[in-house]
Structure 1
């Protein structure tokens, strides 16, 4: 799915400036439901707040992902892996799955991130 592939590419760039952040946010419906390791963050404002916090502590990030597969429930799913560098200089890797749903206009209305490490989003 083009929009979902674009999501990963724009996410990797979103910490570089407001224009890049706006390009990422433009892919999402205003009433999007973001689920991070089971914690719901409803609405674009909650997602924006998460992103601002995330990129405050991340200097760089790079995603790799499998192709998105449509599930029986109409949502899409992919495996992902990421490497990142924190602003304190530490590096890390993580992996998991994303589950997404698009509305009739092709906007992301649901995005669930399920990391293999359940502690990944504890601080957000």
Structure 2
């Protein structure tokens, strides 16, 4: 679960740090799956493309999260999160939601689903 606890901090730091970006990507398996608003993508390559687009669209971003908890009778973990950001055009925004994750036997993230409370949030990333 250590990788999950590092995820949000590394995500935010990776906007300005290549080392943090490499550490963030290393949290995942090569064949990982991630879901944005119900739209599933596979592979670390698509994850890297998503991250490039997030940071091209945002000049700053900061996450807070409540803490990962294993969901009853599943192999999944969940956390509530909040994010504040500033778009590349200078507009500020806030958003809340939850993430759902699965880990492999080595503790790497094999599945990450982002479920924003406002489903419009990731519409710009659908064309990955």
| Shared fold (TM-score, shorter chain, > 0.5) | yes
**Partners of 2:11 and 2:24 within 8 A in 1:** yes
User: Which runs of at least 4 in structure 1 moved beyond 6 Å after TM superposition?
Assistant: none
Instruction: Render the CA deviation track for 1:48-71: whole Å, top value 9, x for unaligned.
Output: 001001111111111111111101
Instruction: Render the CA deviation track for 1:51-109: whole Å, top value 9, x for unaligned.
Output: 00111111111111111110121100010000011111111000000000010111000
CA distance in 2, matches of 1:69, 1:44: 24
TM normalised by structure 2 equals: 0.93
Instruction: State the 1:17 CA deviation.
Output: 3.4
Aligned-pair Cα RMSD in Å? 0.9
**Partners of 2:2 and 2:107 within 8 A in 1:** no
- For structure 2, list consecutive stretches of 5 or more residues without a partner in the other structure: none
- For structure 1, list consecutive stretches of 5 or more residues without a partner in the other structure: none
Show the 5 A alignment for 1:109-120.
Answer: 109-120=110-121
CA distance in 1, matches of 2:44, 2:19: 16
TM normalised by structure 1 equals: 0.96
Q: Number of matched residues?
A: 124
